[in-house]
Structure formats: structure tokens, C-alpha cells
Amino acid sequence: MNQFFDQKRFSLLVLKHWADNKKRYTLSLLAYMGLLITWFLFGLIIEGIPEGHGLPEEIQLTTFFFSLFAVGTFYASQYFSDLGSREKGSHLLLVPASSFEKLLCSLFFTVIVFPILMIACFYLVDVSMVTIANSFSGGSISKGKSTVANIFEAELIRFNTKQTIYLLLFFFSVQSLFLLGSAYFKKYNFIKTIITGFLVFVACFFLVYVIAEHIVPEEKEDYYFLKIEKWFPTFLQALAYSTAPIAWVATYFVLKAKQV
């Protein structure tokens, strides 16, 4: 039997994870839907119905992507947090599956199952809320009927046409860093990942600032034309696509070297 990856072992691991966590996951999804309903109703009662806006698509999209980032990063930060505890960590590490299968199982739940369930729950609430909003259209809503937003054609950022792809790419990159943080840090994984991310961001900011200081000419003109090297946009794109895989590989090595 292959010691790195075995289909049967991986399936057993997925089933075991689901059996261990289905109660927690179901309650979390119900809580998420409850919060969404409260938020949308609050919006409708405070402004949507009295002002006649209904449930604008921007509100729906912003709500979806905000909750995707907030819940998704928190969920990822909890996935391997058991490794911070001696009892739970031993339980996780002693399950007869390889570190690669354990990582793959985490990716299956965080990258595939989680977004699908999030989208399903979001639309379940969103469609109901839009229907409720439109049921008032005969009364106070004056600016036309509300429509259900398509999260796959998001237009939140005006300068880009492939916004959903880039937003999801950005989400999976951030989520992968939280997954790495959950395996790496012993305690307070979520907070420590945020602090580490912030410090890295500040370091990058100063690095860019120092580089800019050197390449911007000193003459006091209002505008400067800087020649950006051809490789730079390719580098940025590569960075966007490679962050998540790099963080996943790092998580694998952290898992392999973990001691509890």
C-alpha cells in the first residue's frame, strides 16, 4: 500500500472527519444563516423598505464576500488548531493516514466543501430575502424590483472585469495562510495569523517604499513616468496564483514535523 497517498485511506479520513464534525458544522451553518437573515432583515427594515431600495445587489454581494472571508479564514484557522493541545493533537497525529492525506482532507473541506456549503446557504437566505423584499414592492419599494445577485459576476471593484476570479483567488490565498497558521501556532491561531500577516504586509510596504525612493527621480515634478519592467505584471500574477499552493506545501511540512 502506498505510504504517501492511498485512495481508500483518504476516503476513510474524509468520512471520519465528517462523522467527528458534522454536528459542529451543521450548527455553524445554521448560525451563519441566522446571522444572514438578521442582517438582511435589519437592512430591509432600517433602509430597504422605508427608502424604497429593496435589497440592492451591491449589499448582497458585499455581504457574501465579507462573510466568505470572515467565516472562511476563521474556519481555516481552526482546522489544525487541535495540534495545539496535547490530547487532541495526539489523536489527530496517531490516525493511521499520511501527512499528505491529512493535508488533502483539510483542503477538501476548506477549499471545496466549505465554499459550496457557504454559497448554498447564502442563496437559500438571499433568495428568500429578495422575495420578502419584493413582496413589499407594491407598497413602499419605489425603485424597481430587487434581483438576486450573481456572485460569479461580481462587480464590486470597478477597474476589473474578472472580479470573482480574482476575489476567489485572493480568498484562497488568504485562507491557505490561515490554514498554515492553524498548524504552525500552538495557541490563538487566528489572532497570531492576523498579526503575522499584518507584520509581513508592513514589511512589504516599507520595502516597496524604499525601492520607490531609489527609482523615483528627485526633480520636483507633479508627475513622473516610470517604466515598469515587463516581468513585473507576470510576477504579480504568479504571486497571486502561487500563494495558496506554497502555503499548502508549507502546511504539509509543518504537519510532518509536528510534535505534541
Partner 1 sequence: MISIKNLSFSYKKKPVFSSLDLQFEPGHVYGLLGRNGTGKSSLLRNIAGLLSPKNGTITVNGHVPFQKLPVFLQDVFMVPEEFYLPDVPVRNFIKYYAPFYPRFDSEKFRKYISIFEIPEDNTLQNMSYGQKKKVLISFALATRARVLLMDEPTNGLDIMSKSQFRKIMAEAMNDDQCIIISTHQVKDLEHLIDRITIIDEGKILFNETMDSIARKLSFRFAYDQEDVAAAYYNESSFGGTVVVTQNTEGEESKVDLELLYKAIITNPDTSKSFQH
Question: Minimum CB separation from partner 1 for residue 118, in Å?
Answer: 23
C-alpha distances in Å from residue 159, one per residue of 155, 156, 162, 236, 241: 9, 9, 9, 17, 20
Grid cell for residue 94? 496517531
Q: Which is nearer to partner 1, 189 or 193 (CB)?
A: 189
Positions touching partner 1 (CB under 8 A) are: 1, 3, 6, 9, 12, 15-16, 19-20, 23, 82, 85-91, 93-99, 101, 256-257, 259-260
Kindly tell me which of 24 and 145 has the beta carbon lying closer to partner 1: 24
* Distance of closest approach, residue 9 Cβ to partner 1, in angstroms: 6
In the complex with partner 1, the residue whose CB is nearer, 43 or 89, is 89
- Least Cβ distance, residue 254 to partner 1 (angstroms): 13
Smallest distance from partner 1 to CB 190, Å: 21
Cell of 16: 471520519
Q: In whole angstroms, how close is the CB of 24 to partner 1 at the nearest point?
A: 8
189-215 vs 163-184: helix axis angle to the nearest 10? 120
Nearest residue (CB) to partner 1, 53 versus 102:
102
The residue among 105 and 130 lying less far from partner 1, judged by its C-beta, is 105
Terminal Cα distance for the chain, rounded: 27
**Between residues 5 and 152, which has the closer beta carbon with respect to partner 1?**
5
- Please report how close the Cβ of residue 29 comes to partner 1 at its closest, in angstroms: 17
